[in-house]
Chain A
Amino acid sequence: MITTTLYSLTGLILFGMGFHTLIIHSHPLRKILAVNVMGTGVFLILVATAYVPLGQGDIDPVPHAMVLTGIVVSVSVTALALILACRVQETSNLALLKRRNQRKETKETRA
């Protein structure tokens, strides 16, 4: 019981941390990572739901199936988000990665 609660709480905290980063930070890569952390939090709660101590009844297969499906979905979505972020950076001057590098370059040239 304590194990389940502990893992579920950790999952909730991960979800909250991911949400916070998604809202606060503007860097595209951080946003993508934040969404992944949120997803991991949800999966952790699901796995904790399915936890049964050894020898005490059968394991519930449904949450495991849900986590597997969820992981597949999140991998494909992350791939799409990464390629979109790359495109945004290529086509627009507003991308943050580029601006940081430029700032660094200007500093170096000044130095």
Chain B
Amino acid sequence: MFQADTPAWIIAPVVLPLIAGLFCFLFKRRIFIIALAAALANFFVACFLIYQFLVFGSMRCYIGGWQPPLGITLRADGPALLMLLMTAVTGLAVTLYARGYFSCRIADSERAGRHQRQQRYFWPLWMLLLAGLNGLFLSGDIFNLYVTLELVAISAASLAALSGKPASQRASFRYLLISLLGSLTYLLGVVFLYRTCGVLDLDLLRNLSGNGAGVRAALALLTVGLLLKTALVPLHFWLPPAHANALAPVSVILSALVVKGSFYLLFRFWFELFSPIVTQAGLNFMGALGAVAIIWGAVQAIRQQRLKLMVAYSTVSQLGYLFVAFPLSRAVEGAQVWSIVIFIALTHACAKSAMFMVAGSIYLHLGHDRIRDLAGVRASLPVTVFAYGIAGVSLMGLPPSGAFIAKWMLLSSSLVSGQWWWALVIVAGSLLAMVYVFRVMSRFFVIPEGEPLKKPAALSPLLEWPALILALISLSLGLLAPWILHILSQGTVGLVRVFPGGLS
């Protein structure tokens, strides 16, 4: 059953974190060991699936041997596997960082019991969220995707409420309601599609969906539902409070991974399932929203007084780049639009996790994250400040980061196709990103006047090094570009291997 070439391995990324999450609920001690083992196993399985994909082509697995339209299909192709790998790498770093974060909080504070409780609930929820996200990337069935969206929403909202502050609980209640509204709109779209086409499987739908009113209504509903969850301007209002008020490891997860899940689905729908009925006007509309998001998010990020809020608004801005790729998709051929989006998503996941980790570490170190009073941090947290700088460089899109490759492709395709206004937005967004990154950076290097009050204790390496490693990964993505492009181009030509037996 588990030879090297069976697609049954595909279920491992869903099942492993799920089992780990259940065990985390069962045990009271050593939960961290279970979570770390699951995160490591998830990482190795993701690497192994990519190896399998490179050797054998894309895979699908019918769970329990039930064929579509009744059964549930899991499938893995190039983009799905790269998103899986992104989740695995970021997830591993977050797991290590969260360990350092919680032990620091428990050791430091007088209210250790509260932080122990937070840690106790963090691990199982994080594992459930990981299972949901992996399921989202691998599902090949639109209803199954609804279930994974809900799983992600439930665990993400619970994680956001974990810090217990009134502000975070209000934000997470709103986050939950918005997620629900998004999922229900998505479900209504699924119902419309099922009424028109009679199937739920993604591959069957691609052949069946025509140009009827039902299909167009379904596309509109699916898009609105997923846009709410992806927080594109003007539907972004829930994101900054929810992300900035959560615990630091939770902000990392929400900002780097959760918004990417719904964007990935949206992109799949627009460019695979519904590509025959998508019009240039629709693509331009999405691109315009993305352009507004880039500028508006960056301006808001510049105006913020707190580091975490600045990083959260930077997420709003960076999500805009993903949408600017939409109108340019007709100007580039084939798999290239996937490579633009994947490069932005991967760079943003790594760099933004590093930034939120840095913000969390600084908060633990100083007890606040007011940008005005950050002076002198460089002397006491050199590794963290270095990580911030590297992550900032990646966000701005300087070479050799992955964002540079993506922005280069966006710029050249916009100029080649004569749509120069997108190029203006991209350049302006990068300049604004520079402003908000350097505004904080310059405070780090100011030497505080007078004697420092007291030298706070050094942070544990688990709080500093995961951020630096993620930042370096995001910076070096440009050097790994040929490898990533190879995986993406494999997906378009690779044979689909079907494994009808499933797990039977």
Residues of A within 8 A of B (CB): 15, 19, 22, 28, 31-32, 35, 38-39, 42, 45-46, 49, 61-63, 66, 69-70, 73, 76-77, 80-81, 84-85, 87-88, 91-92, 94
Contact = CB atoms under 8 A, between A and B. Distances in A.
Given A35-B181, A42-B188, A81 B170 contact: no
Contacts of B194: 46, 49, 62-63, 66
A3 to B, nearest CB: 15
Nearest to A87: B169
Given A35-B180, A77-B180, A84-B157, A46 B166 contact: no
20 contacts: A15-B188, A19-B181, A28-B173, A39-B184, A42-B191, A45-B195, A46-B194, A49-B194, A62-B69, A66-B143, A73-B147, A76-B154, A77-B154, A77-B176, A80-B157, A80-B158, A84-B157, A85-B173, A94-B166, A94-B170
Interface of B: 69-70, 143, 146-147, 150, 153-154, 157-158, 161, 164-166, 169-170, 172-173, 176-177, 180-181, 184, 187-188, 190-191, 194-195, 200
Contacts of A22: 177, 181
A49 B200 CA distance: 14
A62 B163 CA distance: 40
A81 B200 contact: no
Contact of B166 (A31, A61, A73, A88): A88
Contacts of B165: 91
A70 B143 CA distance: 10
- Chain A contact residues: over half helix, strand or loop, or mixed? helix
Nearest to A92: B166
A58 to B, nearest CB: 13
Contacts, number: 79
Given A49-B195, A73-B150, A92-B169, A84 B70 contact: no
B69 A49 contact: no
Nearest to A23: B181
Contacts of A32: 177
B181 A92 contact: no
A77 B143 CA distance: 17
A80 B176 CA distance: 9
Given A80-B158, A84-B161, A84-B176, A69 B184 contact: no
Nearest to B168: A91
Q: Which of B153, B170, B181, B187 has the most CB of A within 10 A?
A: B187
Contacts of A15: 184, 188
Given A42-B184, A73-B147, 9 more contacts: A46-B194, A69-B147, A73-B150, A77-B150, A80-B154, A87-B161, A88-B170, A88-B173, A94-B166
Given A49-B194, A62-B200, A87-B161, A35 B169 contact: no
B170 to A, nearest CB: 6
Contacts of A62: 69-70, 194, 200
A101 to B, nearest CB: 18
B177 A35 contact: yes
Contacts of A66: 143, 190, 194
